[in-house]
Structure 1
Amino acid sequence: MSNSTQQALVTDIYGNITSSMEVTTLVYPQEYHRLNAVINILNRYYIWVIFAFGCPGNVMSICVIAGMSKRRLTTSFFSVAVLAVVDNLTIIMKMVENQSRSHKIISFDETGCQFLFFLGLTCAAFANWILIMISAERFTAVAFPMKVALIWSLRRAVGIIVCVFVFLGLVHSHIFASVTHYENYTCTVKKRFHQYIHPYWYFTSATVYAFIPATCLIVFNVLIIVLLRRSSATRRHMLSESDASNVEARRQDRQVTIMLVTVAVTFLILTIPRCVCVIAYHSMCTGNADLMCTTRRQLFDTLTTQIADTNHAINFYMYVLTGRRFREYFLKLFKCRQMLYMKVSSSNTHMSELPLTESRI
C-alpha cells in the first residue's frame, strides 16, 4: 500500500469527528472511505431533516397547547409546552454548531464556543428530564387521581423545572474551562483535556442525557401501564355511576396519559441504542491502531447520536397520532386559519372586481 496524507481525527464533546492536523498514513480499503462518506453525510445533512420536521411541529404544539389551556393550564400541558420550547432551542443550537463546524457561518471565538456547547448540551438533557417530570406527573394521576392536583401544582412544577435546569447547568459547567476555538476546526475541546473526554465527561454527559432519563421513564411507564390495566374494570364501573362531566374529564385525562406514555416509550426506543453505544464504546475495539474498527465504531456512534436527536423533532406528530383531543383541536385550528385565509382572499377578489369609482367610495 502507498502512503498518502490524511487528517488525524479528534472527537469533540458532542461526539463529532473534527480534524486536528495532517499526518502521513497508508491508503485504506474502499470500505474505509465509504464509511467516512456516510459519517460525513449524516453529520452534515441529518440536522436539516430534524430542523425541517421538528421546528414547525414544536411551534404547532405550543399553539395547540395555548388554545387548549385557555380555560385552565394543567401541569401536563405546561410541561408539554416547555418541552416544545426546549426541543426547539436544542435543534437550533445543534444547527448552529453543525454549520459552524462545516465553516458555513462565521466561526465563534472561545467564549462563543463555550456558550454554544453549554446551552446545546444542557438543553438536550433538559428536554429529556422534562419527560421524566411528565411521566412522574402521569404516574401520580393514575396512582392517586384524587391527590394529583395537590401533589403536582403548577407552582411546584415551575419550581421543579427551574431546579432541574440549574442542576444540569452545573453538570455541564466544566465546558467553560474545557472548550475552546481552534482556527482550523472551530469549536472543540482543549488539547490538555482530551484524556478526560471519554473516561469522564463523555460518560457523565451520556448519563444525564440518556441513562437517568431512560431508567426513570422505564420505571414510571411500566408502573403506569400496570396500573391502567388493573384499574380498567374499576374505572368502567366508576364511569358508569358518574355524571356526564366527570365521565368526560376522566376520559380526557386517560387520553392525555396514553398520549404522554406513547411519547415516553418513543423516547426509550430512540435513546436505548445510544445507551448501548456509550456502554460498549471502549469494548468495540482493542485500540485506536485498528482504524477500520475505529471507523465502524464512529459510524455506530454517529447513527445512535442522530437517532437520539430525533426525539427533539417528533413529539408533535406523536401527539397528533395518539391524542384525540389534541388532534381535534389541531384540525379545528387549521380549519379556522384556512377559512380565515379564504375569507380574506374572497374579500380582496371582490374589492378588485368593483368599478374604480365605486371602490373609492
Structure 2
Amino acid sequence: MGDLKTYKDSVGNATVSLPTISPSAYGNQSFYTPESHYQSIIDVAFFLNKYYLWVVFAIGFPGNLSTIITIVRMRSLGSFTLYVVVLAVMDNLAISLKLLFYQIFENKVNMGTSGCRTFHFFGNFMVSYANWVLVIMAVERLLAVKYPLKIQKLMNCRRSIVALSIVGSVIAGIYLPILWTAYYNETHQACDFDNSSPRLLSFLQWANVSMSAFIPFSVLTVCNLLIVRVIRESFRVRNALRSMQPAVGLKHKSSFYKYDISVQRQVTIMLFTTTLVFVLLMFPLCAFKVADTHWKVEALSNEYAAKYLVYQLSYILCDSTHAINFYLYFLSARKFRNHFLAMSSCATPTRATSV
C-alpha cells in the first residue's frame, strides 16, 4: 500500500482520503518521513477493508435467507414477523450491493455517473432503512409491553405496511440529492460528489450519519431502557394480581393465556437481544464520529494510522449488524429455533406460531 494512496470506502461509508503530502524541497529533492509504525498500521487497516465484507457476506447472506424461509414457513404471520422478513431482505440487499460496489471500485470498472448515483442512493437507503425497520420493531414492542391489551387494535399487518412505507419514503426523500450530486470522476476512476454546493454536501454527510447511525442508536437505546423498566413494573403488578386472583373461573383460558404470555415473552427477548447487540455494535461508530472533529492528528504519524484503523474497525462492527440477526434469533427465540431445526431436518413443526 502506498503512503500517498487515496482510498474511498464502499457504499454507506464516508469517503476517506489518506493524507496527501506536500513535499518540502531540499535543493532538488523532495522529502517526507512517515513515523516508524505508520505503514504497518495502515496496511492492517487496508487488509481489513479489502476482505471484511466477504466475511460479512458469507455469514450474513445465508443467515438472512434462512430467516426469511423460516418465517414464511411458520404460516402465522403478524406485524412483528413481517418486520423480521423485511429486515432480513434489506440486510441481504445492503450487504450484496455494498460488496458489489466495492468490487467494481476495486477493479476500476467505469460505472459511469448513472451507476455512481444508483449505487450511492440505493446503498445508503438500504443501510438506513434496515436500521429503521429495527427501530419500528422496537417502538412497537415497547407499545406491546406498555399496553398489552391494546396492541392488537393499535397494530396489524396493514398498519405495519403503512408505517414501513412512510419511513421508507422519508429516508428516500432525504437521500434524493445524491441523484444529482454524485458523478463518476474519470481522473480518479471513482465516484465523487459535486462540490459546487458545500451546504448540500454537508447536509448529505450529516443526514447519512444521523439516519444510519445516530438516530437509530439513540432511539433503540431509549426503547431498550423503557422496555426493561415497563417489564419490571408489569412483573410487580402481575405478581400482585396473581396473589389476589381467585383460582376458579379461568381454568378454560389458562392454557391459552400461558401460551400467549410465552410467545410474547419470546418475542420481547428476541427483539431486546437484537436491538441490544445493535446498540453495542453501533456505539463505536457513533463515538468515533463525535470524537473525529476533536481528534486532530498529523499526516504520516502513527496516531493518524491508528485513527484510520479505529475508523475501519468501527465500520466493520457497524456492517456486521446486517449479518448476525439470524443467529441472535436462533439463540434467543425457542419457537424460531424449533421451526428452523424442524425445517432443516424436513420434520413438521408441532404447532404454528408467530415466532
Both proteins in one fold, TM over 0.5: yes
Between 1:10-19 and 1:181-190, the stretch displaced more is: 10-19
Between 1:93-102 and 1:41-50, the stretch displaced more is: 93-102
State the partner residue of 1:341. Answer: none
Which amino acid letter does the alignment assign opposite residue 14 of structure 2?
A: G
Q: How big is each residue's C-alpha offset from its partner over 1:283-305, in whole Å with a ceiling of 9 and x where there is no partner?
A: 1106x656544332222211111
Q: Residues of 2 paired with 1:306 and 1:157: CA distance?
A: 31
Q: Does 1:263 align with 2:274?
A: yes
Deviation at 1:239, TM superposition (A): 12
Q: Is the 8 A contact 2:36 2:302 kept in 1?
A: no
Distance 1:329 1:214, change over 3 A: same
Deviation at 1:193, TM superposition (A): 5.8
Distance 1:23 1:110, change over 3 A: farther
Deviation at 1:177, TM superposition (A): 2.5
State the partner residue of 1:33. Answer: 39
Deviation at 1:107, TM superposition (A): 3.3
Q: Which has the higher contact order (CA 8 A, sep 6+)?
A: 2
Q: State the SS of the aligned residue for 2:4.
A: strand
State the partner residue of 1:206. Answer: 209
Deviation at 1:320, TM superposition (A): 0.4
Distance 1:239 1:229, change over 3 A: farther
Which structure has greater helix proportion?
1
Q: Does 1:277 align with 2:276?
A: no
Q: How big is each residue's C-alpha offset from its partner over 1:62-102, in whole Å with a ceiling of 9 and x where there is no partner?
A: 0111112x1x3110000000000000000011101211221
Q: Residues of 1 paired with 2:194 and 2:3: CA distance?
A: 20
Q: Does 1:73 align with 2:77?
A: yes
Deviation at 1:189, TM superposition (A): 2.1
State the partner residue of 2:155. Answer: 152
Q: Residues of 2 paired with 1:20 and 1:99: CA distance?
A: 24
Deviation at 1:268, TM superposition (A): 0.2
Q: Residues of 1 paired with 2:169 and 2:341: CA distance?
A: 37
Q: Residues of 2 paired with 1:291 and 1:300: CA distance?
A: 14
State the partner residue of 2:14. Answer: 15
Q: Residues of 2 paired with 1:193 and 1:163: CA distance?
A: 31
Deviation at 1:144, TM superposition (A): 0.7
Distance 1:182 1:22, change over 3 A: farther
Q: Residues of 2 paired with 1:219 and 1:290: CA distance?
A: 40
Distance 1:246 1:146, change over 3 A: same
Deviation at 1:195, TM superposition (A): 5.7
Equivalent residues, number:
330
State the partner residue of 2:230. Answer: 227
Q: How big is each residue's C-alpha offset from its partner over 1:269-326, in whole Å with a ceiling of 9 and x where there is no partner?
A: 000111111111111106x656544332222211111111100000000000000111
Extract unaligned runs of 5+ from structure 2: 24-30, 349-355
Which amino acid letter does the alignment assign opposite residue 217 of structure 1?
A: L
Aligned-residue Cα RMSD (Å) equals: 2.7
Q: Is the 8 A contact 1:101 1:185 kept in 2?
A: no
Q: Does 1:247 align with 2:253?
A: no
Distance 1:14 1:196, change over 3 A: farther
TM-score by length of 2: 0.85
Distance 1:31 1:198, change over 3 A: farther
Q: Identity over the aligned pairs, expressed in percent? A: 28
Which amino acid letter does the alignment assign opposite residue 77 of structure 2?
A: L
Q: How big is each residue's C-alpha offset from its partner over 1:226-278, in whole Å with a ceiling of 9 and x where there is no partner?
A: 11122224446389854212210111111111101110000000001111111
Which amino acid letter does the alignment assign opposite residue 256 of structure 1?
A: V
